[in-house]
Amino acid sequence: MDGGLAEEVLCHKCGGKHAGPCSIQKIMAALSLSLSQGFEGATRWSISDTTAGLLKLYKRHNKEDASDTIDGVPLDPKRNPNHRVELEEMLDWLRWSIAAYEKDRPTLLASMQLRDQDVKQMVTKSLINKPAYLIAVYHAKKYVVMGIRGTYNTTDILTDLNPHNEPFLEGAAHSGMLGAAKWLLDKEGPLLKRLLLENPGYMLALTGHSLGGAVAALMTMLIRDTARSWIFPIPTQFMTTSLGIKPSGIKCWGFGTAPCVDRRFMTAEDMTFIRNVVLQDDVVPRVNPAAIEALREEIQDTTFRQSMKPDGKTKKVVETIDRIKVSNLMQSAQEVGSTVYQKLQEARLEHGCPLLSCSSANKINSRKMMIEDKSISNSNMDDPETDAGIAAKAIMSIARGPSVSKQELEKRRLFVPGVLYHIRRQKIKREERMTALPAPARPYDPETEAPRGSKYKHYVICGTDPSSRFGRIILSSTLLSDHGCFNIRDGILDALQWKK
C-alpha cells in the first residue's frame, strides 16, 4: 500500500475537500462555521460549542425521523399520465436552470442542443444585485426562456447578505433579490418583448436555481403586475402585460429557491404561475432568521438523553453530559472554562469510550476557538463552485443578521412562493430491494456529484395547501448536498421510475 497521503477530493456534503468518505461530524462542523458568528449584538456561538450542539440535535432528528414537508398529494407517474407529464416538465425546466451556470456559449449550445441564433443573450459575470443569466428561444416547446443563474461566487453572495425586506405589491420581499429582479426587467424587458412579438403564440418562461429561482419568481410577479387596470376592473383574459402578452402566458419554475416573499403572498388568489421544487432536507429554502432562532432553541432544549439510546458505558457518558447546562455554555466562550465538545470528550475518556473524530484537533487560546481540520477550513467553505458551500453561505448571511425579538422575526419571515413540490427520499423495504432496481439514467461522477444509494427511492409531493410551507431546518447528512442541481435532477429521474 502506498504510504503517501490519500488524495483529497471535493465533498458535496460538507463543502470541503478531504480523503475518504464524509462523516456527519464533518458536515455539522461545516455548518457550525456558518453559525459561529451568531446574531450581531447577541450571543455568539463558538465553533466547538455549535458543532457539539448540532451533532446532538442531529442525533435527535435522526432518532425521531424529523421532517419538514408540505401538505399535498404524491405524484404517481406509473399510474397517472398527467403526473408523468408534470415531472417531465419539471425536469425540462431544471435543465434550463442548470444551463444558466454554463461559462461559455459553445458548451451551452451543445448541452441544450440549441442553434447559435437561438441564444439571444448570455451574461456570465455578475455584480451586486445583477445576476448572470441567459435568454433563448425554445422553439421545440414554443417558449422564450430566461434562465437566471443562482449563487455562484462571492459577488452573488453579497445579494444574499442583504437581510432587509421592503414593500412589494400587497406584501414584502427580500430587498436584494427584488432589486435584482427589477434590474433584469429594466435591462432585458425590451428584448423579451421583441422576441415575443417576433414569435407570435410563444409563451415566456423564467427559471432559476437557488438565488436565481427567487429572482425569477419576483420578476415574474413584476411582469404580471403590469397587466393591472387601475381605472376599472378588467377580466384577466383581456389583460395584457408590458411585454405584450397575457398574464396567463407567463410561468416560472424554481429549484432550491431561497425564501423571498412574506406570508401575505401565501393567501394570494392565484400563485400557480410560480412552481418551486425542493429536494428532501435542502437547507436553503428553509433559511431565515426565524428558522435559525428556532434551531438554536432546539439545540438548547435538547438533552443528550433525548438524542441517544444509552446502554452500558454510553449510559454513563449520557448521564455526565446531561449535567452540562448547554444554555449556559452557549452564552459566551469567555464565561466557560471549557466547551461542550471538550466536556463530551472528557466524559468519554473518563468512561473508557473512544474519542469523537469531529476534527483533527481542538485548540483554545485567549483570542478564539476553532476546529483545525483542513477538510472544513474557511477557505474551502468559500469555494464558489460547491453546492454545499453555497448552502452554508446562505446560512451565514442570515446568522450575521441583526438580533430582534422572536415575534419580530416571525413577522419578517420570508417564504418560497407559488405551488411547492417536495422531492422526498424514502428507504426501500428489504424485500423490495431484492427485486431489480430501476437502472440509473446515467452513471454519476463521484468527484462532482453525490451518489444515489440503492437503499432509497424518491417520490414527489405536490402541495395543495397554500398555507403549508417549508420553515424548519432539519439536520441530516444531506441538508447541504440536497441543494445541488444534479442531485435535484437525479431525484426527479428516480421519481419517474417509482410509484409511491
Mind listing the pLDDT tens digit of every residue in the chain (500 residues)? Answer: 344 444 555 555 555 555 566 677 767 766 666 555 443 333 455 666 667 778 888 888 988 889 999 999 999 998 999 999 999 999 999 999 999 999 999 999 999 999 999 999 999 998 888 999 999 999 999 999 999 998 754 344 444 545 688 999 889 999 989 999 999 999 999 999 999 999 999 999 999 999 999 999 999 999 998 876 555 566 666 678 889 888 889 999 999 999 999 988 876 667 889 999 999 999 889 988 788 788 888 887 876 555 555 555 455 545 554 444 444 433 433 333 344 445 455 555 555 555 554 443 333 333 333 333 333 233 333 343 455 555 555 555 444 444 567 778 888 889 999 999 999 998 876 655 555 444 444 444 444 444 444 577 899 999 988 889 998 999 988 888 888 898 999 999 999 986 55
**∠ at Cα 419 (407, 165), nearest 5°?**
35
pLDDT score recorded for residue 296? 80
340's grid cell:
461542550
User: Which amino acid is located at 255 in the chain?
Assistant: F
CATH fold group of domain 72-286+414-495: Rossmann fold (3.40.50)
Q: Are 462 and 495 in contact (CB under 8 A)?
A: no
Q: Which residues pair with 424 in a beta bridge?
A: 459
CA dihedral (423, 490, 104, 144) positive or negative: negative
Nearest-CA neighbor of 338 among 371, 369, 360, 314?
A: 369
Give the per-residue pLDDT at 387.
Answer: 52
CA distances from 203 to 112, 143, 180, 195, 199 (A): 19, 5, 22, 10, 9
Q: Please name the residue that has the C-alpha cell 383574459.
A: 237
* Per-residue confidence (pLDDT) for residue 263, from 0 to 100: 87
Question: Where along the chain do its domains lie?
Answer: 9-66+311-399, 72-286+414-495
Cα angle value 425/428/433 (rounded, 5°): 145
pLDDT at 212: 94
Q: What is the Cα Rg of the chain in Å?
A: 24
**pLDDT value at residue 337:** 36
Q: Sheet of 171-174: strands edge to edge?
A: 165-168, 171-174, 261-262, 414-415
The DSSP bridge partners found for residue 137 are 144
Q: Which residues contact 410 (CB under 8 A, 6 or more apart)?
A: 290
Whether this model's pTM surpasses 0.85 = no
Burial of 359: CB neighbours in 10 Å, binned 0-12, 13-18, 19+: buried
- Give the orientation angle of helix 211-225 with respect to helix 154-161, to 10 degrees: 60
What pLDDT sits at residue 34? 57
Q: What is the pLDDT of residue 304?
A: 55
Determine the Cα–Cα distance for residues 258 and 10; give it in Å rounded to an integer: 24
Site of grid cell 438580533:
403
